[in-house]
Amino acid sequence: MVRRSALPALILAVAIGGVVMSDRADADADPGIATAVDTGPDLATPVLSARRAPAWLRQPTSDNLLSTTIADVLSGAPTGTCVKVTRGDMLIADNNTSAPIQPGALQRLLTLSALDSLGGSGFRTEVAISADAEIDEEGVLRGDIYLIGGGDPVLSTRPFIDRFGDDRAFTNFAELAGQTVIELQNLGVTAIDGGVIGDESKYEDISRDYRQEDGTDAEGVERRIWTTEQADSNAVGPLSALLVNNGFAEWPTSVDPSQNVRADDPAETAAELLDIRLEAAGIVVDDRPDSGDAPAVLERLTVAVIDSPPLEEILPRSLVDATTAEMLLIETSVRSGSEPSRLLGSLFLVAGGLTAAGLPFDIISTQPFDGSGLSALNRTTCDMLHASISDPASAAAAALPPIEMTSVSACAPRDVDDLRVLASSDGTTTGLAGRFAAANGDEVVFSMLVDDPSRLVIDEEAVPEGEDPPEPPGPFGDCSDMQAALLDAIGGHPYGPTLETLSPLETVAG
């Protein structure tokens, strides 16, 4: 962590200097005693003294000290480091801001910004039966019942959501199942001579993940968009238009995604959940759950429908849930009139969404190979990240979580209340993007990305001849040195003398 051992002495010197300058200004402006018979109090601080605007008097010093402290953070930082910090309209610090660097989870800020600019509604999941299905005198439905996915990325059961301990938006699968039971009972159905079929055909061409797809990196080399290790991390569940509980068949009470068990067929797993609820309600289902295609819209009878929360409520979840971010990226291609593929969704994100969002992208420095930030091929800039949250009214800024709910809560600065941030540390990269409402009302916006390949592989050519190469320090983790140092620097604002030191002096007796 960067230490600021010289700051107390520097702040004291600035404070003393400010007081001396203020006293000199007071002496020059003081007209003296008007009459010998005036026994009223003298003003210790004249009306035109700079002391009457202490915050204005301190601001340049505070900005300079913040800039200096951030410079200390960057001292000795890897070459692949960018930082941008502003206070209101004032640029406080910038370094390498247009350099394309791997953003990790910070990629989700751009996904969210683009989708918000494109607009649109939420998602709909439907349960239906064939329009010509018959219900016999004994209440047996002759045919299958279909659970039809609409691409809802937040369709979940309550136990799955409750593990996270937050108020993330979700579509309650139990409500859809409950509606289905009630409507079947109203139709007199007591048994189904068929099974529950999960339909994921809205995204029929989509793969479960991107480990089989190639992308071209900045050096023109073809590489997997997701490595096997990245896909198996379970940061993103198996992708499907019919996804319940992020596509996991099993999940422990822990929120550690590595403990989750991916569904081999998410649509079939969703159908199984509905089957269990029908059986629990006394409706016997003869066949096992399966996946397949439902009858066409005009050839089916809707039994139950559930709408997701509005898109504007789902978007913030994409910052804390990589599966939601990935599913929303796929949806962009569908809503643009394209086929549901990751590649077209990615291109549309750049060509349409980022342009509409007014972000300073270019095709060289901005390469969104996925929406979640899992792919090591992604590249973006500190300029892009900063722009996505610079407007406090923007969707990305509003969705930033409080630092106490993030992976860097352990290194949150003390006595700091309103600090909202998205953090990422993965392998050779680490970064932050956030907003800080300082105690004096200033709004500080910041972004940082660090790419340090030596964390995993030492450049042996840079080792002096005859010396053994050092051991790599290992991958970045939560509260990395760079993250902690920048948070410490931002949380120290405003710097400089206290306002009491610079405020008007009390009146004294004449």
Residue 426: which pLDDT band, with cuts at 50, 70 and 90? confident
In this predicted structure, the answer to whether residue 86 has a pLDDT above a threshold of 90 is yes
Burial class (CB in 10 A: 0-12, 13-18, 19+), 179: middle
**Higher per-residue confidence, 57 vs 67:** 67
Q: Whole-number mean pLDDT of the chain? A: 83
What is the distance between the alpha carbons of residues 246 and 69, in angstroms, rounded to a whole number? 42
The answer to whether 494 and 438 are in contact (CB under 8 A) is yes
Could you tell me where the DSSP H helices lie in 163-302? 173-186, 228-232, 266-280
What is the helix (H) or strand (E) element at residue 222, kind and residue range? strand 222-224
Residues of the chain with CATH 3.50.80.20: 123-206+241-309
**Inter-residue contact 287 to 168 (CB < 8 Å):** no
User: Crossing angle of helices 481-491/54-74, nearest 10°?
Assistant: 170
Residue with tokens 């016999």: 136
State how far the Cα of 452 lies from the Cα of 235, in Å rounded to an integer. Answer: 22
Taking only the tens place, the pLDDT of each residue in 476-486 is 999 999 999 99
| Residues 6+ positions from 38 with CB-CB distance below 8 Å | 510
HSE value, Cβ hemisphere, 13 Å, CA-based, for 137: 0
Question: 3-state DSSP call for residue 434?
Answer: strand
Q: How confident is the model at residue 290 (pLDDT cuts 50, 70, 90)?
A: very high
206 Cβ partners below 8 Å, 6+ apart?
239, 240, 241, 330, 340, 341, 342
Find out whether 81 and 96 touch, Cβ atoms under 8 Å.
Answer: yes
Where is pLDDT greater, at 215 or 187? 187
DSSP, collapsed to helix, strand or coil, labels residue 25 as helix
CATH topology (fold) of 123-206+241-309: D-tyrosyl-trna(Tyr) Deacylase; Chain: A; (3.50.80)
- The beta-strand segments (E) located in 232-326 are 248-250, 261-262, 284-285, 290-291, 300-307
**Tokens (6 digits) for 223:** 């590489």
Q: What is the model's pLDDT at position 303?
A: 97
Q: What is the pLDDT of residues 96-129, one digit of tens each?
A: 999 999 999 999 998 898 888 877 789 999 999 9
Q: pLDDT over 70 for what percent of the chain?
A: 79
- Res. 310: pLDDT tops 90: yes
